[in-house]
Amino acid sequence: MKRIPFFDYRAHFGRDEEGFLKVIRDVCARGAFILQRDLEEFERRLAEFVGVRHAIGVGNGTDAIWIGLMAVGVGPGDEVILPSHTFVATAAAVKLVGATPILADIGPDRMVDPASVEAAITPRTKAILPVQLNGRTCDMDALHEIADRHGLMIVEDAAQALGSRFRGRCAGTFGRFGTISFYPAKLLGCFGDGGAVLTNDDEVADRIHALRDHGRSRNGEVVSWGFNSRLDNLQAALLNYQLRRYPDVIERRRAIAMRYHERLADVAELGLPPAPDADPRHFDVYQNYEIEADRRDVLRDYLAERGVQTHIQWGGRPVHGYRALGFDGVRLPRTEAFFERCLLLPMNPFLTDDDVDYVCDCIRAFYGYGS
């Protein structure tokens, strides 16, 4: 029996311990801890990588969303439409700037459904907030068409989608701003918390700079109220170091997705995410490999008994499923049906081909298919 953790946090460091220690020693020996050149360099290279004018490092991916919302003027009285199939942080960020999160359903592609978004628009709607989930970018043409027709702005939660593209353009660069998370298990993970806001708007970038650093502008003058939500220089240096090989990480994730697809496509009891080459408009980076499965909970136990750790996103509920948050009347049939069946298989660059084959063999055996 193999043991396949959902994500191996120790391997995240251990795969290149010497390289990481060199970075840590260099940064600490220079005493370069807060807002230093490693952060500036990382911000510049991250912006280049996604093709955007500004990338601004912040404390985490959640701060990135609410700081972005504040910087574009979303606040009390405004409604923001987002999918219920997201991390609670997306909705919380909207709530915490004083606006109202309005939850939309997913479409057949499991991304936010443009028709559901349009149906949720009211005179108070200020922004549409698509979530670029699992390493895939939404059909941004459809969302832009709706936003333009109703005079709304688009802002993106791209926490799970660094390097994902739709029609050649990177997730996080479609709207007034987009956000990235560097949580350790994310595509590009640091060794703690970290996040970034991406924007092409110079004024929004200036506001974000001030908001993340006590209201201070780049030359140190206090220009507004602000907070402290800076990306640590040490984390930035470690991210910068990893960014060099990030294209290889994406390639590996896509190869794993292809392998899952080849080994599982004939299993009628499953619904798989699109294969890497399924649609030329999409370039997916597979933060997660989220399947739908008949008898999901029994399959999950079966896999656990065989050493395969799986995961159900968001603790098994979409945002409107959390009683304490007050979405009592909300009904989103596709999302609710999806949450009866969804399951994340292990998906990370530490998996070997043998690991993936083992997971697939277990699943095939469970449903009575030969290997």
Ligand X SMILES: *Cc1c(COP(=O)(O)O)cnc(C)c1O
Give min distance, CB of 319 to ligand X, in A.
Answer: 11
Could you tell me the smallest distance in angstroms from the CB atom of residue 31 to ligand X?
A: 26
Residue 185 C-beta: closest distance to ligand X, Å: 8
Q: Which long-range contacts (CB under 8 A, 24 or more apart) does 85-88 make?
A: 85/110, 85/112, 85/131, 85/133, 85/313, 85/314, 85/318, 85/319, 85/335, 85/338, 85/339, 86/131, 86/133, 86/157, 86/314, 86/318, 86/319, 87/159, 87/313, 87/314, 88/314, 88/319, 88/322, 88/325
| Residue whose CB is less far from ligand X, 160 or 199 | 160
Q: Which of 343, 58, 356, 68 is nearest to 213 (CA)?
A: 58
Query: In whole angstroms, how close is the CB of 143 to ligand X at the nearest point?
Result: 16
Nearer to ligand X, 198 or 267 (CB): 198
Q: Least separation, in Å, of the C-beta of 62 and ligand X? A: 3
248: burial class by Cβ within 10 Å (0-12, 13-18, 19+)?
A: exposed
Nearer to ligand X, 38 or 63 (CB): 63
The CB-of-89 to ligand X minimum distance in angstroms stands at 4
Closest CB to ligand X among residues 87, 260: 87
Nearer to ligand X, 128 or 267 (CB): 128
The answer to whether residues 110 and 290 touch, using CB atoms and an 8 Å cutoff, is yes
Ramachandran region, residue 168 (left: φ > 0; alpha: ψ -120 to 50; beta: rest):
left
Indicate the length of the chain as a whole number. Answer: 371
Q: Which residues of 308-344 are buried (b: 16+ CB within 10 A; e: fewer)?
A: bbbbbbbeebbbbbeeebebeebebebbbebbebbbb
- Interacting residues toward ligand X by CB under 6 A: 60-62, 86-87, 89-90, 131, 157, 159-160, 181, 183, 193, 195
Task: Write down the least CB distance from residue 296 to ligand X, Å.
Answer: 21
CA dist 327 and 97 (Å) reads 18
Q: Which is nearer to ligand X, 109 or 294 (CB)?
A: 109
* Burial class of residue 175 in the structure, from the number of CB atoms within 10 Å of its CB (0-12 exposed, 13-18 middle, 19+ buried): buried
Nearest distance, CB of residue 133 and ligand X, angstroms: 6
Whole-number minimum distance, CB 86 to ligand X, in Å? Answer: 5
Of the pair 52, 112, the CB lying nearest ligand X is at 112
Q: Give the integer Cα–Cα distance in Å for 171 and 173.
A: 6
**Least distance (Å) from ligand X to the CB of residue 136?**
12
Query: How far apart are alpha carbons 253 and 236 in whole angstroms?
Result: 23
Alpha-carbon distance values, 244 to 45, 239, 248, 322 (Å): 9, 9, 9, 39
Separation between Cα atoms, residue 185 and residue 165, nearest integer Å: 20
At residue 332's C-alpha, the angle toward residues 115 and 70, to 5°, is 70
- Nearer to ligand X by Cβ, of 117 and 159: the residue is 159
Nearer to ligand X, 61 or 172 (CB): 61
Give the distance, in angstroms, between the CA of residue 240 and the centroid of all CA atoms in the same chain. 19
Decide whether 86 or 242 has the Cβ nearer to ligand X.
86
